[in-house]
Structure 1
Amino acid sequence: MQNLDTAYWLGLIVTFVLPLLVGVVTTHVTNPGIQAVLLLLFTAANGFLVEYMAPHPAGYSVTSALVFALVGFVMSVAAHFGLWKPTGLSYTVQKHVGLTRKSVNLAA
């Protein structure tokens, strides 16, 4: 079995913490559907960046990037509901680092 390149390991670590990033850029009252779409966009960007950064003899593969993005999304959702949310870390990060209703100027 081949070893994974450093880019893939970094991509997996980023995928694991992406739910916390979504919490930072959204508020507590943001619709969960919007949060899910943001998570999907972040994991897709991560998947394409990982595929771009990883050294390949055959070159860039859009199919591999899509597969990594899909696996990343599933992994991020599992990390959110299996670890970050039950332990309260997701809420804590969003409360202390994320946006609040006061910091979002809706009149602008």
Structure 2
Amino acid sequence: MTVDLDRAYWLGLLISVVLPVLVGLVTTRVTHAGTKAVLLLALSTINGFVVELAAPGPGWDAGTAIVLALVAFGTGVLSHFGLWKPTGVSGKAQDSLVTGRSQPRGV
């Protein structure tokens, strides 16, 4: 058995591993987990549709794009909990760009 995936599919898979870090860059630690999941799902959907558009072949297939989006989302969730969170990369990403509002100090 040989696996012959086009470069677009490999690139899409690599992007889906990095997507949780991107979500961490644009959210804070206090952002609701559901909001982060919806953002990851949206980015995964974009990834899946763009990969299907970029992949060589006879034409664009919506079914394949949906499957690629689901695979990207699953890969993103697994890489977040299995790689980025245990190594501390997720926390550092959330601390780097976006900061929460500072609380006003009491008098």
Relative to the length of structure 2, the TM-score reads: 0.89
Q: Which one has a bigger Cα radius of gyration?
A: 2
Q: How many angstroms apart in 2 are the aligned matches of 1:10 and 1:83? A: 18
- Whether 1:15 and 2:16 are equivalent positions in the alignment is yes
Q: How many angstroms apart in 2 are the aligned matches of 1:9 and 1:71? A: 12
2:92 alignment counterpart: 92
One-letter amino acid matched to 1:3: D
Per-residue CA distance 1:5-48 (angstroms, 9 max, x = gap): 11111100000000000001111110000000000000000000
Q: How many angstroms apart in 1 are the aligned matches of 2:3 and 2:100? A: 48
CA RMSD of aligned residues (A): 1.3
Unaligned runs of 5+ in 1: 104-108
One-letter amino acid matched to 2:26: V
2:38 alignment counterpart: 37
Q: How many angstroms apart in 2 are the aligned matches of 1:88 and 1:56? A: 40
Q: How many residues align?
A: 101
Question: Aligned runs of 1:16-95 on 2, under 5 Å?
Answer: 16-57=17-58, 59-95=59-95
What is the aligned-residue identity percentage?
Answer: 53
Relative to the length of structure 1, the TM-score reads: 0.89
Unaligned runs of 5+ in 2: 103-107
